[in-house]
Amino acid sequence: MILPAVCKGCGACCINKNDLKWVEVNLLDAINIPEKFLQNGDIERFAMKQTENGRCICLDNNNNCSIYEDRPSICRTVQKGDSICLSSLLSNAAIV
């Protein structure tokens, strides 16, 4: 597999097919995210909702983030071609 030097827009970094179903969102991020995209954990803990197959609920059919300008800081940390990007691409290769 050839790994991308730039973002392919594949959405692999927004798919979590592992057992982890909790993509935590800090309180400051949660303020700007519509409530319909969040699930509550405990006090002051929120997470992004995901579909049954682990796809972020904010990812549309064209792999665009519907809340891109207000996306959580955890999502902002992923950079094109970084280790998270490449790891996500490799683990989700059959999906994307």
Q: What is the pLDDT of residues 12-62, one digit of tens each?
A: 888 876 544 456 777 777 788 888 888 776 656 678 888 888 888 899 988
State the Cα–Cα distance between residues 67 and 95, nearest whole angstrom: 22
What domain count does the chain have?
Answer: 1
Residue 41 lies in a domain: yes
Band of pLDDT at residue 1, cut at 50, 70 and 90: very low
Residue 49 lies in a domain: yes
Residue 84 lies in a domain: no
Enclosing domain of residue 55: 16-72
Band of pLDDT at residue 5, cut at 50, 70 and 90: low
Residue 80 lies in a domain: no
Both tokens of 1, joined, read: 């597999």
The alpha carbon dihedral of 64, 71, 23, 82 has a sign of positive
Residue 29 lies in a domain: yes
More reliable by pLDDT, 93 or 51: 51
Could you tell me the pTM of the whole model? 0.70
pLDDT at 81: 81
Which ranges of the chain would DSSP assign to H, the alpha helix?
A: 27-32, 73-76, 83-91
Residue 79 lies in a domain: no
Residue 6 lies in a domain: no
Residue 9 lies in a domain: no
pLDDT at 94: 55
pLDDT at 74: 81
State the Cα–Cα distance between residues 68 and 42, nearest whole angstrom: 25
Give the H/E segment covering residue 24.
strand 24-25
